[in-house]
Chains A and B, each alone.
Chain A
C-alpha cells in the first residue's frame, strides 16, 4: 500500500556530535532486508529530529554516533519517552564502542533522563531478538567490543536496544559496492552475522515476542541443540 506503511529506516539527527557516522549503513541494511525477508521496506532512509511532528509516522528509530553530544531538550525527552512507551523502538549503535567515553557516556546520560527508574540491562541470549529470524547466540558488529546487547524493556517489550559493536560499520558499503570498513577480528563471517543481527532487530521491532509463542518453541529448541 502507501510508502508510509512500509518499514522505514528512520535515523535520528541531533544538534552536535557526530550523528551520521555511517551514512550508507541503513540503505544497505534495507537492501538486505528486502532481499532476505517478506518485509516491505523503503530503500531510502529518512532523518528526523525528536521534535519533528513526523516522528510518530516511523515506529523504528536508529540513533548512532561516535562522540559526546549535548543533552536533548526536555521536550525532546518527553516526546521520545511517549514514542517508546506507546509502541516505538529505538536502536542505538555506538560507532566507537568505548565504554563510559564519548558517545556511550552521552547515551547513558540521556537514557537515565528518559527512564530514571530503569537502567540498561544485558539482553539474555534467549531474548527474542536473537531468534526473530536468524538463530544467533551473541551480538555482532564491525568490532567486538561487547558480545551482548543491552536494552530497556517496558512490560514484555524491549523498547531500547543498544549495541556498542558499531553495527553500522559492518553494514556500510560505498556506492561503488565496496565495504567501507574492515570487520575485526572475525572478518567477513562477522559481517554476515552483523547483517543477520540487524535484520533480527528490525524483525523484533515488527513482530515483538512472536517467536516466544508456544507453537515455535519446539522447532527453535531443536535447532539450537
Chain B
C-alpha cells in the first residue's frame, strides 16, 4: 500500500460550451477594438502599457466568468483480496473410509503442503480467513494450524454466499477458496432446484470460487436413518405410519434388521436386504391403543467401520389422541332400556354410534315379503373381524349371539376376537341385562365370559323380577362410574332416591380383579353393576334392562334425569379410559426444548369426585429415557386449584421421562408420566456423503475450479489475476476566483488605465 497526491483544475462558471466560446470571441473583439482606439497614442511605450492593462482587465473578467477551481486528491494504492472459507460443521470431523484421516485434517494438510503458495498469496494479496456453517465467523491462519473447532450444526452454503456478497460488496475480491465436504443441510421445497440457486448465488459474487473437498478415497462408510416422515399425532386404535429413509454409504448387500420401539418395548422389526442400493425407503406401521405422548425409536444395527453411530437411531415423539369415541351397540330387541340409552349416546357429539338392533328373530313372522321390510343384513363378519379394531367400545344389550352361530358365520369365533379386542387392544366391552343376556344369551363358558366382571351360571340365569332399588357398594361410592356428587353421603342419598329397577339377571361376583359397584338387594345380593380392568382394556356388566327407569320415572316423580345421563357419561369415559378420569395428570409446556431452556412441569390432582384436590403431596422425578438416570427431582404440595407446578432447566440433550406420584398422607392417589425432549437442531449427520457435484457446480458457475483433497502442489495449477487497485482517501477543492485580491487588482488595472488615458487626452 502506498499513498500519493493528484491535482486537477476545473471551471465552474459558464457551463455551456457555446457560451464559453462566445465569451472568448467577444473578449478577442474587445481587445481588437481597444487596440484600434489607442493606435494614435504615442509614444509606443505608453500605447503598449495601455494595451497591456486592457488585456489584463479582459483576462481578469474572463477569470471571474470561468470561475476556475483546483482539486487536490489523496489516493491509496491497494492489494487485491482473497477469501479462505472453511467449513466448521460437525460433518468435517468424520473420518474417511477405513482411514483415520478426518475431513478437517485434509484441509489442515492443504495449508501445510502448500505453505509456499499460501505465503506468496499473503505477500501479493490481502487475505481473509472465515469459518462457515449457518453463519460466518472471522478466524485467523493460526486457527487452522491450532485446530479449528467444528461445532456447527448446519451447513448452509446458500446463506454463506449471500453473506459474502454483502460483506465484500465494495472490495476487490479476486477469488474465494472454499474448503468443505458440501454436506449442505438446508432443506428447500421439492420444486426448487438447489444446484441452480447455488450456481446463481456463486455467480453473484463476481469472483471465481475455488472449491476443495475430500476425494473418493475419503468417502465415509455409514448406515444412517437420514429422514423420517410421520404424523406427530395419531388416533388411538388407528394405523399410524412412518416412512424411514435409509442411506447406505460404502457398504453393499447388507441384511439390516430395522426396529421400531415404543420406549424400551419393541413394537415391530423388519429385515432389509440392501443389495446395491444407496438409499432405501421403509414403511413402518402399527396401531397404538392408549392415548398420551410416547417416544418412538427407529434403529438400525451398527456396521463395521461406521463413521458415526448416532445416526443409526432416530427417536421422536408421537401424541396419540382420541378421535370421536366409536361405539358399536348391538341390541337383541327394541326396548325402553335401549331407547333411552340410545338417546343419551346419540345426543353426545363426541360419540360416533353404530347401532344394530335385532328387529325380528327367525321365529317371528312379519307377514310381508323381505323387500317390503326395512331390515338389513347384520354384517356380523365385517363387524367382528376387520372393523372391530376401529371401535372403542362394544355394547351387547340383551343380545343372544347363538342364532348367528351358524356354520357360515361361527359367531363363537368372533367372541374370541371380542375378548382379544379388550384384553390385547385396549377396547371396552359392556353387557347389559335382559332375557337374552349373560348365560341366558349362551355366554357361559365362552371367550366372552373370560372378560366379564361377573361369573355366569353354567345353566340359564335365573332372573329376579322383583322391583327393587339398586344399592351402591363402598367401592361404588368412590368409583368414578357411580359417583354422581362430590360428597359421599350425598352420593349415597342420591342412590337411595333413584327409582326402583324392574328385575335383575342373577350372576355371581368374581373374586379376582372385578369390582362390584352396585348390587340388587334380593336374595344373595347379586352384582348389579360391576367393572373390571382386564388385560389392556376394561369391561362392565349391568345385570338389568331397566336402568331407563332412572330417567323417565325420575322425571315423573318430579326429579330430573341428570343422574341417569351422568351414569352413562361416567361409564363410557371409564370404559374408554378417558384421561379425564385419571386422578393425576402431568403435562409439560414444551415437547421439545433447547438445551438450557426452562421447561414447566404441571401436575393436576383430582379427587374421586373429579374435583381439584388441594394439600396433596406430589413427587416429580425426571429421568433420561435411555440411561434411566435421574436428572431432576422435586416435591411439593398442590394448591387450591389442585395443581403443583415446577420448572426444570437442563443442558444435556436427550429424551426425558417425567414421572409424578401424588399421595395424601400415606394413601397414594395416583401416578402419571409424560415425555419431552431436549435437543438443538443438528442435521449434519443425516447424510454423510461428500457432495463433490454440488461444490463442482458452484465452482463452474463462478468460473472457478474444483480440487480434490489432498492437493499437494496447487501452485502449478492455479494462477490468480492481480490488477492494480487504487482508492481515493481524501479530496480538497481550492477556489481561485472568489476572493478580494482579484477585485482589488481589477479596480487597480481599470483605474490606472483610466488615469493614463486621461493624461493622454483620451476619454
Judged by a CB distance under 8 angstroms, whether B8 is at the interface is no
Chain B 320-336: CB-based contact to A (< 8 A → 1; otherwise 0) = 00000000000011111
Q: A155-173: which have CB < 8 Å to B?
A: none
Query: Chain B residues with Cβ under 8 A from A215's Cβ?
Result: 354, 376
Chain A 2-40: CB-based contact to B (< 8 A → 1; otherwise 0) = 111111000000000000000000000000100111111
Give complex CA distance A209, B357 in Å: 12
Task: Tell whether, in the assembled complex, residue A38 and residue B339 are in contact, meaning their CB atoms are under 8 Å apart.
Answer: no
Task: Tell whether, in the assembled complex, residue A206 and residue B358 are in contact, meaning their CB atoms are under 8 Å apart.
Answer: no
Give complex CA distance A76, B695 in Å: 92
Judged by a CB distance under 8 angstroms, whether A213 is at the interface is yes
Say yes or no: A38-B359 contact (C-beta < 8 A), given A88-B552, A207-B342. yes
Judged by a CB distance under 8 angstroms, whether B45 is at the interface is no
Judged by a CB distance under 8 angstroms, whether A223 is at the interface is yes
Query: Chain B residues with Cβ under 8 A from A208's Cβ?
Result: 339, 342-343, 346
A156's closest neighbor in chain B, by CB? B346
Task: Tell whether, in the assembled complex, residue B502 and residue A4 are in contact, meaning their CB atoms are under 8 Å apart.
Answer: yes
Judged by a CB distance under 8 angstroms, whether B365 is at the interface is yes
CB distance from B322 to the nearest CB of A (A): 21
Task: Tell whether, in the assembled complex, residue A5 and residue B342 are in contact, meaning their CB atoms are under 8 Å apart.
Answer: no
Task: Tell whether, in the assembled complex, residue B359 and residue A83 are in contact, meaning their CB atoms are under 8 Å apart.
Answer: no
Q: B430-463: which have CB < 8 Å to A?
A: 433-435, 463
Judged by a CB distance under 8 angstroms, whether B617 is at the interface is no
Say yes or no: A133-B463 contact (C-beta < 8 A), given A1-B545, A38-B333, A208-B342. no
Query: Chain B residues with Cβ under 8 A from A53's Cβ?
Result: 556
Task: Tell whether, in the assembled complex, residue B376 and residue A40 are in contact, meaning their CB atoms are under 8 Å apart.
Answer: no
Task: Tell whether, in the assembled complex, residue B502 and residue A1 are in contact, meaning their CB atoms are under 8 Å apart.
Answer: yes
Q: B367-399: which have CB < 8 Å to A?
A: 367-368, 371-377
Judged by a CB distance under 8 angstroms, whether B366 is at the interface is yes
Kindly identify which residue among A59, A192, A203, A220 contacts B336, using a CB–CB cutoff of 8 Å: A59
Judged by a CB distance under 8 angstroms, whether A42 is at the interface is no
Task: Tell whether, in the assembled complex, residue A35 and residue B372 are in contact, meaning their CB atoms are under 8 Å apart.
Answer: no
Chain B 454-486: CB-based contact to A (< 8 A → 1; otherwise 0) = 000000000101110000000000000000000
Give complex CA distance A7, B504 in Å: 18
Task: Tell whether, in the assembled complex, residue A56 and residue B435 are in contact, meaning their CB atoms are under 8 Å apart.
Answer: no
Query: Chain A residues with Cβ under 8 A from B551's Cβ?
Result: 86-87
Task: Tell whether, in the assembled complex, residue B556 and residue A207 are in contact, meaning their CB atoms are under 8 Å apart.
Answer: no
CB distance from B436 to the nearest CB of A (A): 9
Judged by a CB distance under 8 angstroms, whether B537 is at the interface is no
Q: B549-585: which have CB < 8 Å to A?
A: 551-553, 555-557, 561
Query: Chain B residues with Cβ under 8 A from A210's Cβ?
Result: 342, 355, 357
Kindly identify which residue among B337, B366, B377, B552 contacts A56, using a CB–CB cutoff of 8 Å: B552
Task: Tell whether, in the assembled complex, residue B373 and residue A134 are in contact, meaning their CB atoms are under 8 Å apart.
Answer: yes
Task: Tell whether, in the assembled complex, residue A192 and residue B367 are in contact, meaning their CB atoms are under 8 Å apart.
Answer: yes
Judged by a CB distance under 8 angstroms, whether A184 is at the interface is no
CB distance from A4 to the nearest CB of B (A): 5
Say yes or no: A82-B555 contact (C-beta < 8 A), given A38-B364, A131-B374. yes
A4's closest neighbor in chain B, by CB? B502
Query: Chain A residues with Cβ under 8 A from B373's Cβ?
Result: 133-135
Kindly identify which residue among A1, A56, A135, A192 contacts B434, using a CB–CB cutoff of 8 Å: A1
Kindly identify which residue among B332, B342, B359, B368 contacts A203, using a CB–CB cutoff of 8 Å: B359
Give complex CA distance A211, B359 in Å: 11
Task: Tell whether, in the assembled complex, residue B367 and residue A5 are in contact, meaning their CB atoms are under 8 Å apart.
Answer: no
Task: Tell whether, in the assembled complex, residue A40 and residue B333 are in contact, meaning their CB atoms are under 8 Å apart.
Answer: yes
Task: Tell whether, in the assembled complex, residue A56 and residue B371 are in contact, meaning their CB atoms are under 8 Å apart.
Answer: no
Judged by a CB distance under 8 angstroms, whether B208 is at the interface is no
Task: Tell whether, in the assembled complex, residue B376 and residue A216 are in contact, meaning their CB atoms are under 8 Å apart.
Answer: yes
Give complex CA distance A68, B463 in Å: 46
Q: B188-232: which have CB < 8 Å to A?
A: none
Query: Chain A residues with Cβ under 8 A from B338's Cβ?
Result: 206-207
Judged by a CB distance under 8 angstroms, whether B361 is at the interface is yes
Query: Chain B residues with Cβ under 8 A from A134's Cβ?
Result: 366, 368, 372-374
Give complex CA distance A37, B359 in Å: 6
Judged by a CB distance under 8 angstroms, whether B609 is at the interface is no
Query: Chain A residues with Cβ under 8 A from B435's Cβ?
Result: 1, 40
Q: A181-212: which have CB < 8 Å to B?
A: 192, 195-196, 203, 205-211
Task: Tell whether, in the assembled complex, residue B368 and residue A196 are in contact, meaning their CB atoms are under 8 Å apart.
Answer: yes
Chain B 341-352: CB-based contact to A (< 8 A → 1; otherwise 0) = 011001000000
Query: Chain A residues with Cβ under 8 A from B361's Cβ?
Result: 38
Judged by a CB distance under 8 angstroms, whether A96 is at the interface is no
Judged by a CB distance under 8 angstroms, whether B57 is at the interface is no
Judged by a CB distance under 8 angstroms, whether A64 is at the interface is no
Task: Tell whether, in the assembled complex, residue A39 and residue B333 are in contact, meaning their CB atoms are under 8 Å apart.
Answer: yes
Judged by a CB distance under 8 angstroms, whether B63 is at the interface is no
Give complex CA distance A36, B368 in Å: 9
Give complex CA distance A2, B561 in Å: 22
Give complex CA distance A4, B468 in Å: 13
Judged by a CB distance under 8 angstroms, whether A55 is at the interface is yes
Give complex CA distance A40, B400 in Å: 14
CB distance from A51 to the nearest CB of B (A): 11
Query: Chain B residues with Cβ under 8 A from A211's Cβ?
Result: 374
Kindly identify which residue among A35, A207, A213, A219 contacts B364, using a CB–CB cutoff of 8 Å: A35
Kindly identify which residue among B339, B364, B372, B545 contacts A135, using a CB–CB cutoff of 8 Å: B372
Judged by a CB distance under 8 angstroms, whether B340 is at the interface is yes
Query: Chain B residues with Cβ under 8 A from A131's Cβ?
Result: 374
Judged by a CB distance under 8 angstroms, whether B689 is at the interface is no
Query: Chain B residues with Cβ under 8 A from A36's Cβ?
Result: 360, 364-367
Judged by a CB distance under 8 angstroms, whether A132 is at the interface is yes
Chain B 108-123: CB-based contact to A (< 8 A → 1; otherwise 0) = 0000000000000000
Query: Chain A residues with Cβ under 8 A from B674's Cβ?
Result: none
Give complex CA distance A53, B332 in Å: 30
A192's closest neighbor in chain B, by CB? B367
Judged by a CB distance under 8 angstroms, whether B546 is at the interface is yes
Kindly identify which residue among A38, A39, A87, A135 contacts B374, using a CB–CB cutoff of 8 Å: A135
Query: Chain A residues with Cβ under 8 A from B371's Cβ?
Result: 135, 223
Give complex CA distance A196, B366 in Å: 9
Judged by a CB distance under 8 angstroms, whether B175 is at the interface is no
CB distance from A38 to the nearest CB of B (A): 4
Judged by a CB distance under 8 angstroms, whether B288 is at the interface is no
Judged by a CB distance under 8 angstroms, whether B503 is at the interface is yes
CB distance from A113 to the nearest CB of B (A): 20
Task: Tell whether, in the assembled complex, residue B332 and residue A87 are in contact, meaning their CB atoms are under 8 Å apart.
Answer: no
Give complex CA distance A214, B375 in Å: 14
Give complex CA distance A86, B367 in Å: 34
Judged by a CB distance under 8 angstroms, whether B234 is at the interface is no
Judged by a CB distance under 8 angstroms, whether B544 is at the interface is yes
A1's closest neighbor in chain B, by CB? B503
Task: Tell whether, in the assembled complex, residue B334 and residue A56 are in contact, meaning their CB atoms are under 8 Å apart.
Answer: no
Say yes or no: A2-B502 contact (C-beta < 8 A), given A56-B552, A192-B367, A216-B376. yes
CB distance from A31 to the nearest CB of B (A): 12
Judged by a CB distance under 8 angstroms, whether A57 is at the interface is yes
Task: Tell whether, in the assembled complex, residue B360 and residue A5 are in contact, meaning their CB atoms are under 8 Å apart.
Answer: no
Query: Chain A residues with Cβ under 8 A from B367's Cβ?
Result: 32, 36, 192, 195
CB distance from B696 to the nearest CB of A (A): 60
Task: Tell whether, in the assembled complex, residue B374 and residue A7 are in contact, meaning their CB atoms are under 8 Å apart.
Answer: no
Q: A80-135: which have CB < 8 Å to B?
A: 82-83, 86-88, 131-135
Kindly identify which residue among A2, A88, A203, A219 contacts B465, using a CB–CB cutoff of 8 Å: A2
Give complex CA distance A134, B369 in Å: 10
Query: Chain B residues with Cβ under 8 A from A56's Cβ?
Result: 552-553, 555-557
Give complex CA distance A86, B35 in Å: 132
Give complex CA distance A28, B557 in Å: 32
Give complex CA distance A32, B368 in Å: 12
Given A4-B546, A37-B334, A59-B552: 6 more A-B contacts, CB < 8 Å: A6-B335, A40-B435, A133-B366, A134-B374, A207-B342, A216-B374
Question: Can you name 15 A-B pairs with beta carbons within 8 Å?
Answer: A1-B434, A4-B467, A37-B360, A38-B360, A39-B334, A59-B339, A83-B556, A87-B551, A134-B373, A135-B372, A207-B338, A207-B359, A210-B357, A219-B374, A220-B374
The 6 residue pairs across chains A and B that have the minimum distance between CB atoms: A56-B556, A1-B503, A206-B334, A2-B502, A38-B333, A2-B503
